[in-house]
Chain A
């Protein structure tokens, strides 16, 4: 006690100071430290949850990317198959059309050739008939001019022999 007095420390003041300090410590602990700790814990939890959510989202994104790639691959395969089928059908159709067109052209050519030949034959026949007609007409004209009474007499003489056979 004396020592405290020698040091100039008042025990009453010291005790009251300690009490005040304790009260302050309790008040700080209750009113400030714990809410701050609570806030920090909550923040930590939110961050952890956000990290977890982020990981989940990343995982989902990876899954979605994988699914998208798979879907794209499948779509690509299907479209390739469809394109190949369409190309095959187009080739078949084109081939059939070409074949039909070739057949039609061939038939047309054949018909044209036949028609040409018929017309040529008819022209030749007409020409030959005309030539025959003209030749005979010419011969008739020559005979009309050149046929003499003596020729007529000779002809009648030769006909005398044929008459009995013709009249039977």
Chain B
């Protein structure tokens, strides 16, 4: 169910995406939305941090993550949690252009790379 304000936001994102494409900057509407959100957060002095985990619940990490990021950026942190079954275990933390991967999937990828390099 859409609201007039949501329709207006979608139209604005679409227009912005088209304008960027005319300037030779190819970006998807999702990326544009992310950039707009970052800009909005930047102006509001807040920062959205997304924690992805296999269960979608990594509540035990939230205090440590919030404290560390607030200390680093000086911005108020807003936490969002997301479920990603492909991670197997652990979690990933994303904010701004930063991404910290603490998942089992990443550990396996690292192990595979290490084994391949040593061979």
* Contact, CB under 8 Å: A153 / B116: no
Residue contact B68 to A167, C-beta cutoff 8 Å: yes
Given contacts A143-B108, A157-B60, A167-B69, contact A152 B115 (CB under 8 A): no
| Interface size of A in residues (CB-CB distance below 8 Å) | 29
Tell whether A136 is near chain B: CB-to-CB under 8 Å.
Answer: yes
* Chain B interface size range: 20 to 34
With A and B bound together, what is the CA distance between A74 and B116 in angstroms? 82
Partner of B90, one of A125, A149, A155: A155
Q: In the complex the two chains form, is A166's CB within 8 Å of B100's CB?
A: yes
Secondary structure type dominating chain A contacts: helix
Beta-carbon contact of A162 and B102 below 8 Å: yes
**B13: chain A residues within 8 A (beta carbon):** none
B61 touches A156 (CB 8 A): yes
Q: How far is the CA of A168 from the CA of B90 in the complex (A)?
A: 20
C-alpha gap A129/B113 in the complex (Å): 9
Asked if A168 meets B65 with Cβ closer than 8 Å, knowing A139-B108, A147-B104, the reply is no
